[in-house]
Amino acid sequence: MAHNKHTTSLYNQDLNLMMPNKQAWLDLAGDWVDPFEAPQLVDHDGFKVVREDMMGFGSKCRFGDILVQTCPKDTLVYVQPRYGFAGISLAYLAKKYNKKLVLFSPSQKEISDHQAICIERLSLIHISEPTRPY
């Protein structure tokens, strides 16, 4: 059977069993309050664009706050692409909640601007050589 033909349902069956409605999701968050202002919505050629980048971090900073805050471990580990705000967001959250952050990132001749920001924000970053099949 093809990978996309296991069910005729248009809904994620696991998700619907665990979190069947909006209240289940709200219960999971408990009394957590989003520490950031509401994101800016900008109209761009007829499309509504959520500008999470305006807060100086990426969406993972907003979405990850409750996860990092409640994480029982003292170290976070993430595979950071050369580009993107994930590592930057996680560096902010790690500092905010007194966690260590280890980022693994691919190497190139020069580090990317996003990798440089992660390094500046005092996260431990491992820039690894790409694997080459021989």
Residue 83 lies in a domain: yes
Are 47 and 36 within 8 A, CB to CB?
no
Specify if 70 maps to a domain: yes
* Cβ pair 116, 88 in contact under 8 A: no
Is position 124 within any domain?
A: yes
Q: Which of 46-50, 60-64, 107-111 has the highest mean pLDDT?
A: 46-50
Q: What is the pLDDT of residue 39?
A: 86
Asked whether residue 6 is assigned to any structural domain, the reply reads no
Asked whether residue 32 is domain-assigned, the answer is yes
Residue 4 lies in a domain: no
Q: What would the 3-class secondary structure string for 53-68 be?
A: HHHCCCHHHHHHHHHH
Residues 104, 99, 53, 105, Cα dihedral to 10°: 0
Q: Do 112 and 88 form a contact (C-beta atoms < 8 A)?
A: no
Q: What is the pLDDT of residues 66-93, one digit of tens each?
A: 999 999 999 999 888 878 888 888 988 9
Type of residue at 133: P
Q: Which range of residues forms the domain containing residue 109? A: 13-128
Count of positions (residues) in the chain:
134
In a domain, 90, yes or no: yes
Beta bridge partners of 102: 77, 124
CA angle 95, 129, 94 (to 5 degrees): 5
Q: For residue 106, is it within any domain? A: yes
CATH of the domain at 102: 3.40.50
Condensed to tens digits (0 to 9), the pLDDT of residues 8-46 reads 666 655 556 666 677 877 888 889 898 988 888 999 999
Give the tens place of pLDDT for each residue, 120-134. 776 555 556 555 555
Counted domains in the chain: 1
- How are beta strands 75-79 and 100-106 bridged, if at all? parallel
